[in-house]
Structure 1
Amino acid sequence: MATDLITTALSRLKAGSTQVEFIHKPHIGWPHPPHIPHSLPAPGSPLATAVSKYPVAVLDSSFNPPTLAHRALALLPAASSATDARLLLLSVRNADKVPYPGDASLVQRVEMMVLLAREVNAAVGLVDAPAFVHKAELLRAALPAGAQLTFLQGVDTLERFLAPRYYGDGSTTAMHAALRHFFAPDGNDSRVICARRTMELVDPRGETAILEAAREWVQANRINITDIDNKLQTFSSSEVRAKVRAGDSSWRQMVPNGIVEYIEQHNLYLDLT
């Protein structure tokens, strides 16, 4: 795997010379389908209409490590379209999460993302933004015109997405203004598909409260709620890390086979202190 390529891309992002980097693409024409020719079709032709707008399903996560739940989220049908553009996205700035001793480095996370991307026919991207509203703006600027972004999330991520503290002055007013631009057809024209997850949430009222907070956008068909396999709903990266440190081999059933091999090869998540 091109570790030097990843390191160079991360350096550019951290230096501020770029804001989005694409590390891996499933084919040369991505994000357009493989059968779309690279030369531009004639304006007004059926092919021009077909490629003028295209969906990109974005799974944004810390991928520390990628799990089978990530795989299930990445494979969710994001839109009824002839295209199948999928993007695994990692932010070099995370609004909440900080690294712990033994965690995978950013380079190692990207390498694991590429392994998962090859399984789900996705591209791999890096972005220098902690919030979804900013990520949407940067991605739309970096992708060819016409990208319609659908962010794939678990309900735990949706909880953070709908938390006012991540927006402007931390008020509900600031959050609603940002989300209206995020979802508006004349704004970022983005959507969210949220999969239910069986895990601890910050809000003690649980999933019901989160879905109530999302009601405006659910009714507008901008947030859609779906399900993944019941067992996969329980899988989390933090649990994988904890099991590896505890010597509990059941973590191997929680991640794709290629990720199992990578974690073992690089001795990740072991408490070596």
Structure 2
Amino acid sequence: MCARRASIEESLLSFQTEFNLNPSQPLFKITYKSSPIWPISPISDHRKITRIAILDSSFNPPTNAHYQLIVRSVTNIFFQNGKSIIIQTPERQQQIKEQGLEFFDSCLLLYATKNADKILSSSDVSHVDRLLMMETLASHIQSTTPSDTHYTALKNLAVGVVTHPRFIDKAHGILSLLHSLSNSSFSFSNNTSRQFSLYFIMGYDTVIRLFNPQYYTNMREELAPFFETNYIICANREGYDEEEAEEQFYQSDIVREIIGREEEKIIRIKLDNEIAKISSTKVRDIIRNELKIKNKENTEEQNKIQNVLLELCPKPIFEFVIQKDLYRKVSVKNI
């Protein structure tokens, strides 16, 4: 782990140096990938578009909501004749192979070093720790995905970092790197160039911010090109469960003007209510204020708290947080 930490630190240093040369240019860097040809699927037809499911978050820390967002997106959304199809019932999913549907090719866990609304504080964990936790989450996703499924994207994962907080800039940085790789690593004998479609996974609260004019000089002119090649996967969030208000938002003049028919560019999925309630803030608060393990003494109360945390975040993430003594006021090095 020490060697991996040092490698990420060195990678971030060179990343920052490159960014300093041209701060206005969005940069994207891959810090981990499960396949040397990521984001290309090993079973991909080079004539079709490469579809990438992207989960962008602060991962502070990764939770079971993050896990479910990426897994549900890949296993519930399919494509036929260039259009998305949502299949969430197990009965219908048995018909997938017969219908000749297409799938996501790969996944990306994305972290932005800058946040449009927040400034990294001294109590937050470092960029390096977040990227290490993202790699841990990626490994967990791969290990819990059966090999004999159509969902190869869940085993074709990458972790990446981007310099800019706005989605229009993130997409620009990602596509710039992918197109440069496409012209070299992914070239084909018939000179066919790769096409990429990015599917950003986010909660409904983030979709609202995406259409907030305060983040743009001219929202219509800046967002319209974004939706030409990119898509949004929107999941329900606790506190934003008024269906009527949500429908009004999607049917509003500004949304329809920018993206046209909502169902073509914004794909909506439904998380279980218990999953939709999970937040990184809740995990941090419990670890900081309630988890008090000392000298290997596991009281019944503390065991219950640990079980609550394991319901909120994957076990490998919980173990990483405890091992690295993150989010805590009191050291737990003697666990």
Among 145, 165, 173, the alignment partner of 1:138 is 173
- CA shift at 1:191, angstroms? 0.3
User: Which whole-Å CA distance do the structure 2 matches of 1:247 and 1:135 have between them?
Assistant: 36
Residue correspondence of structure 1 range 86-125 to structure 2 within 5 A: 86-120=107-141, 121=155, 122-125=157-160
Structure 2 contact 8–128 (Cα < 8 Å) conserved = yes
Residue correspondence of structure 1 range 163-242 to structure 2 within 5 A: 163-168=212-217, 174-184=218-228, 189-199=229-239, 207=246, 210-213=249-252, 215-216=255-256, 217=259, 219-220=261-262, 221-242=264-285
- Structure 2 unaligned residues grouped into runs of 5+: 80-101, 142-154, 183-193, 292-304
User: Which whole-Å CA distance do the structure 2 matches of 1:68 and 1:211 have between them?
Assistant: 27
The one-letter amino acid paired with 1:167 is Y
User: Which whole-Å CA distance do the structure 1 matches of 2:121 and 2:309 have between them?
Assistant: 19
The one-letter amino acid paired with 1:85 is S
Structure 1 contact 193–225 (Cα < 8 Å) conserved = yes
User: Which whole-Å CA distance do the structure 2 matches of 1:218 and 1:71 have between them?
Assistant: 30
The one-letter amino acid paired with 1:266 is K
Paired position in structure 2 for 1:49:
47
User: Which whole-Å CA distance do the structure 1 matches of 2:285 and 2:265 have between them?
Assistant: 35
User: Which whole-Å CA distance do the structure 1 matches of 2:43 and 2:111 have between them?
Assistant: 28
- CA shift at 1:14, angstroms? 2.0
Distance 1:104 1:231, change over 3 A: same
- CA shift at 1:230, angstroms? 1.4
**So what's the TM-score if we normalise by structure 1?**
0.83
Distance 1:241 1:200, change over 3 A: farther
Instruction: Report SS of the residue matched to 1:63.
Output: coil
User: Which whole-Å CA distance do the structure 1 matches of 2:260 and 2:279 have between them?
Assistant: 25
Task: Give 4+ residue runs of structure 1 displaced > 6 Å after superposition.
Answer: none
Identity %: 31
Distance 1:10 1:103, change over 3 A: same
- CA shift at 1:266, angstroms? 1.1
Distance 1:123 1:243, change over 3 A: same
- Stretch moving more, 75-84 or 156-165: 75-84
Structure 1 contact 102–271 (Cα < 8 Å) conserved = no
- Stretch moving more, 213-222 or 24-33: 213-222
Paired position in structure 1 for 2:15:
13
Q: CA RMSD in A?
A: 2.4
Structure 1 contact 59–74 (Cα < 8 Å) conserved = yes
Instruction: Report SS of the residue matched to 2:205.
Output: helix
Structure 2 contact 65–278 (Cα < 8 Å) conserved = yes
- CA shift at 1:99, angstroms? 2.7
Number of residues paired by the alignment? 249
Structure 1 contact 102–268 (Cα < 8 Å) conserved = no
User: Which whole-Å CA distance do the structure 2 matches of 1:159 and 1:150 have between them?
Assistant: 17
Paired position in structure 2 for 1:63:
59
Task: Describe the superposition over 1:131-183 as per-residue Cα deviations: whole angstroms up to 9, x where unpaired.
Answer: 00011111111113411101011112112111111112xxxxx1121111101
User: Which whole-Å CA distance do the structure 1 matches of 2:320 and 2:216 have between them?
Assistant: 37
Structure 2 contact 59–134 (Cα < 8 Å) conserved = yes
Paired position in structure 2 for 1:269:
327
- CA shift at 1:215, angstroms? 4.7
Paired position in structure 1 for 2:149:
none
Among 199, 216, 237, the alignment partner of 1:150 is 199
